[in-house]
Amino acid sequence: MELLGVPQNTIAILQKYQFNFQKKFGQNFLIDTRVLERIIKASGVTKEDFVLEIGPGIGTMTQYLCEAARSVVAVEIDRKLIPILEETLAQYRNVTVLNEDILNVDIARMIREHNEGKPIKVVANLPYYITTPIIMGLFESRVPIDCITVMVQKEVADRMQSGPGTKDYGALSLAVQYYSIPEIVANVPPNCFIPRPKVGSAVIRLTCRKEMSVIVEDERLMFEIIRASFNQRRKTLANGLSHAPGISLPKETIQSCIAESGVSLTVRGEALTLEQFAQLSNIICRRKRGEGSRTY
C-alpha cells in the first residue's frame, strides 16, 4: 500500500470506496507528508512504544505510526472507515483497529493488556468539536501517559499554552498546564487537509507531568474556582467567586481568603497564575472545613 500522505493516494482510496465525509465526525484527512513527519518526530515514538491513536480516519498517520512504534491501537468511531482501514493497514501486523467512541473506551484496561500498565504515547488528529473533552478525559482518567501529541484548531492550541494576562488565557490553559507541559511544534494551514477546514490548525505536544507542579488539597474545588473566575472575565475575582454555587461562601469570607493569598481584592481571575489559583484554592478549602486561616 502506498503512503496516504501523498494527496493522489488519498483521493484514490476515497474514490474507490465512494467515501462521503461526515460533518458530525469533523473529518479532515491530512495530505502533507512533511506535516506527518513533524508529528511523528514531535511525538518521540520509538520501537519501544505502544501508541494509542484517536481518529485514524483512512489510516494516513497510522501508517507512519506503525513504522515507528512497537504496537498501535487506533480507535475510529466511523464504522464506514473500517473497511478502508483494513485495506490501508493490511501490510502491518502491529496495529489493532477498534470501531469505538474513544470517550467510551477503557483505556486503563487497554494499557494493562497491551503495555503491561506502563506509560503509553497518544497521537491524534482530533475532531475539533470534541478536542477538549477527549484531552481532559485522558488527563482526568489518570491513566499512565507519557505524552499526547495532537493536531487541534490553532486557536485551541494557543489557549492551551497561554499565560496570565493574555486574551487566550483561561480555564483550558490552566487545566492543560496543571497536567502537562504544552508546546506548539507546528502550525498547519488548511491546504494540508482534504477537505480543507475553514480554520488553521496546529500540532501541540503535551508532555504529561510525572509530579504536579503545584500541591492542591482539593482538585475539584480548584477547578471550580478557576471556572468561576473566567465565567465573567470583566468581574473581579471576588465577585466571580461569590456567585459560584460550588464555593458557597459569603463574599466577605471570599475576600478574606483572597487577601490571605496575597493578591489584590480588585484583581481579575485572568491575572492569576496556576500557583496563585492553587494557593487560593487551598485557603478556601481550609476555610470551608472550618480551619480558619491556618497555614502549614
* Strand duo 50-54 + 193-194: pairing: unpaired
Residue-level pLDDT at 49: 97
The residues with which 124 forms a beta bridge, in sequence order, are: 54, 150
Residues 192 and 229 in one domain: no
Give a yes or no: residue 296 inside a domain.
no
Q: What is the CATH number of the domain that holds 29?
A: 3.40.50.150
Orientation angle between helical segments 171-179 and 219-231, nearest 10 degrees = 150
Residue-level pLDDT at 243: 82
Give a yes or no: residue 295 inside a domain.
no
Give a yes or no: residue 213 inside a domain.
no
Cα–Cα distance, 181 to 178 (Å, whole number): 8
Residues 21 and 129 in one domain: yes
Cα–Cα distance, 24 to 8 (Å, whole number): 25
Element (H, E) at 182: strand 180-188
> b/e per residue, 156-187, with b = 16+ CB within 10 A?
bbbbbbbeeeeeebbbbbbbbbbbbebbbebe
Residues 98 and 193 in one domain: yes
Query: Which residue is listed with cell 512533511?
Result: 34
Cα–Cα distance, 263 to 271 (Å, whole number): 10
Residues 224 and 199 in one domain: no
The long-range contacts involving 10-13, CB below 8 angstroms and separated by at least 24 positions, are 10/58, 10/60, 10/194, 11/194, 13/58, 13/84, 13/87, 13/88
Please tell me whether the peptide bond between 195 and the residue prior to it is cis, using omega within 30 degrees of 0: yes
Give a yes or no: residue 214 inside a domain.
no
Cα–Cα distance, 225 to 254 (Å, whole number): 11
Distance linking the first and last C-alpha atoms of the chain = 62
Element (H, E) at 75: strand 71-75
Domain count, the chain: 2
Residues 203 and 270 in one domain: no
Residues 226 and 203 in one domain: no
Residues 167 and 260 in one domain: no
Residues 267-282 have pLDDT tens digits of 999 999 999 999 999 9
Residue-level pLDDT at 2: 76
Give a yes or no: residue 170 inside a domain.
yes
Task: Give the domain-ending residue among 175, 208, 241.
Answer: 208
Residues 4-32 have pLDDT tens digits of 889 999 999 999 999 988 777 788 999 99
Residue-level pLDDT at 3: 83
Give a yes or no: residue 293 inside a domain.
no
Residues 171 and 121 in one domain: yes
Q: What is the CATH number of the domain that holds 261?
A: 1.10.8.100
Q: Percent helix, strand, coil in the chain (nearest 5)?
A: 45, 15, 35
Give a yes or no: residue 177 inside a domain.
yes
With a cut of 50, list the residues of the chain below it in pLDDT.
Answer: 292-296
Task: Give the domain-ending residue among 208, 240, 262.
Answer: 208
Residues 19 and 140 in one domain: yes
Angstrom CA distances, 75 to 51, 62, 108, 194, stand at 11, 11, 14, 20
- Look at residues 151, 191, 145, 189 and name the one whose alpha carbon lies nearest to residue 51: 145
Cα–Cα distance, 73 to 52 (Å, whole number): 5
Task: Give the domain-ending residue among 170, 187, 208.
Answer: 208
Residues 67 and 191 in one domain: yes
258 φ, ψ to 5°? -65, -45
- Look at residues 172, 287, 137, 285 and name the one whose alpha carbon lies nearest to residue 218: 285
Give a yes or no: residue 1 inside a domain.
no
Give the domain extent around 66: 7-208
Residues 242 and 194 in one domain: no
Residues 233 and 142 in one domain: no
Element (H, E) at 287: helix 274-288
